[in-house]
Amino acid sequence: MSEQSSGRAANSGVGTDDAHVADGGSDADEGNDVDDADIVPAVRDAFVDAAPRTVAEVAVAAAAPRDAVADALETLVAEGTLRRREVTTTDAEGTERRAVVWHLPAATLRERSAEGAVEAGDAVGLAIARMAFPGASRMMRDWRRDAVRAVVEHLREDGPATAEGIVDAVYGPHSAGYDDPDAWWDCVRPRLRSVPGVVHDDGEWRFES
């Protein structure tokens, strides 16, 4: 059961770095394991919160080639699932850099918040409430939202755990419609990374209050 690391931003335009130039094939594309038919759903599922993401970041989260991810992103923009915009940042040397990012529409985030309503001031609960989850029905999405909550609660109460330890402790009572624990972890893992206070380090997950 593998742990995926966060991707590096892919910038384009003024003052781009060598690591941020092309969205086409590269060594980073080797080892991707998503079938072509699954790329659009995998790309959609990479957007678990309000954070904008670059092609490179989505490619890592979706475990798919960047050129295929770029096509999937445009498909999702065309159908209204995502929004696309250009941003400009300034690095430490004062060089302006432009990047194209994709993000969930505000209406989608409001809908997610309504589905997983939480008390004001609960940063963890709010982050989970705003996450996008796969599922054809609200009930299925809520099951998967509850699975992430259960993992966070496990880390809070029982301390650090490996991926295997989390699956052993939480998957059974919170399988969330998944028959396979690996598929369940593929859903939980990227969302767990977006929960405030959750840290992944040296093969272990822990919650820091």
Summary mean pLDDT of the chain: 77
**Final residue before a domain boundary, out of 58, 83, 103:** 103
Q: Are 31 and 74 in a shared domain?
A: yes
Q: Which amino acid is at 7?
A: G
Residue linked to tokens 């969302």: 191
Those residues with Cβ within 8 angstroms of residue 127's Cβ, 6 or more apart along the chain or in another chain? 49, 194, 195, 196
Q: Are 85 and 110 in a shared domain?
A: no
Domain extent, residue 72, equals: 18-103
**pLDDT range class, residue 90, cuts 50, 70, 90:** low
- The per-residue DSSP string of 34-93 comes to --GGGHHHHHHHT--SS--B-HHHHHHHHTS-HHHHHHHHHHHHHTTS-EEEEEEEE-TT
pLDDT for res 123: 84
DSSP-based three-state secondary structure for 108:
helix
Query: Which of 51-55, 107-111, 135-139 has the least mean pLDDT?
Result: 107-111
**Final residue before a domain boundary, out of 86, 103, 120:** 103
pLDDT tens-digit readout, 138-180: 788 888 988 999 999 999 999 999 999 999 999 998 999 899 9
pTM exceeding the 0.95 threshold for the entire prediction: no
